[in-house]
């Protein structure tokens, strides 16, 4: 069952998204604590296996730690991060991303927009905003909030 999350924006418009859209689409255990395999499953060390997925001609190679007893696959942090990037690109292509529309503000010198309050709970004042320009007209960006050291 999809878990629905919702929040209200300043304009009282209700926005919803399914939690499933945010998390991975495959059945993996991503172990955030463990930084590297091999992991232990069913009393044995898991074996490294190469995997390949493709989407719209983009081919992506990664590796998983495979348990020969229960067939469970484990991703280490590095491979998990790589795969999350692939899913991000896939969601972008499929137009499945959560989309939030904000009004542009201008204070006479600077353009800015406000984040919905519900999305700012994990943000801190000194966080770094990493902005990647995605197209030459300066109207498409990928924005990533990076925690400042010490947060």
Q: Which of residues 57-76 bind Zn ion (CB under 5 A)?
A: 67, 69-70, 72
List binders of Zn ion among 39-58 (CB under 5 A). Answer: 41-42
**Could you say whether residue 102 binds Zn ion (CB under 5 A)?**
no
Distance of CA 12 to CAs 9, 31, 37, 72, 147, Å? Answer: 5, 38, 47, 44, 29
Least distance (Å) from Zn ion to the CB of residue 41? 3
Q: What CA–CA distance (Å, rounded) separates 26 from 83?
A: 10
Rg of the chain over all Cα atoms, to the nearest angstrom: 19
Q: How far is the CB of 50 from Zn ion (least distance, A)?
A: 19
Asked if 28 and 37 count as a contact pair (C-beta separation under 8 A), the reply is no
User: At its nearest, how many Å lie between Zn ion and the CB of residue 38?
Assistant: 12
Which residues bind to Zn ion, rule: CB under 5 A? 41-42, 67, 69-70, 72
């Amino acid at each position: 069952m999809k878990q629905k999350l919702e929040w209200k924006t300043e304009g009282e418009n209700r926005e919803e998204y399914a939690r499933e859209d945010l998390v991975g689409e495959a059945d993996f255990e991503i172990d955030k604590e463990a930084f590297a395999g091999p992991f232990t499953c069913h009393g044995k060390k898991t074996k490294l296996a190469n995997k390949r997925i493709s989407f719209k001609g983009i081919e992506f190679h990664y590796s998983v730690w495979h348990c020969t007893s229960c067939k469970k696959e484990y991703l280490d942090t590095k491979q998990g991060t790589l795969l999350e990037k692939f899913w991000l690109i896939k969601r972008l292509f499929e137009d499945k991303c959560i989309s939030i529309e904000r009004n542009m503000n201008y204070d006479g010198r600077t353009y800015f927009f406000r984040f919905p309050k519900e999305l700012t709970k994990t943000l801190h004042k000194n966080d770094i905003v990493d902005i990647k320009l995605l197209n030459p007209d300066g109207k498409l960006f990928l924005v990533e909030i990076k925690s400042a050291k010490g947060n």
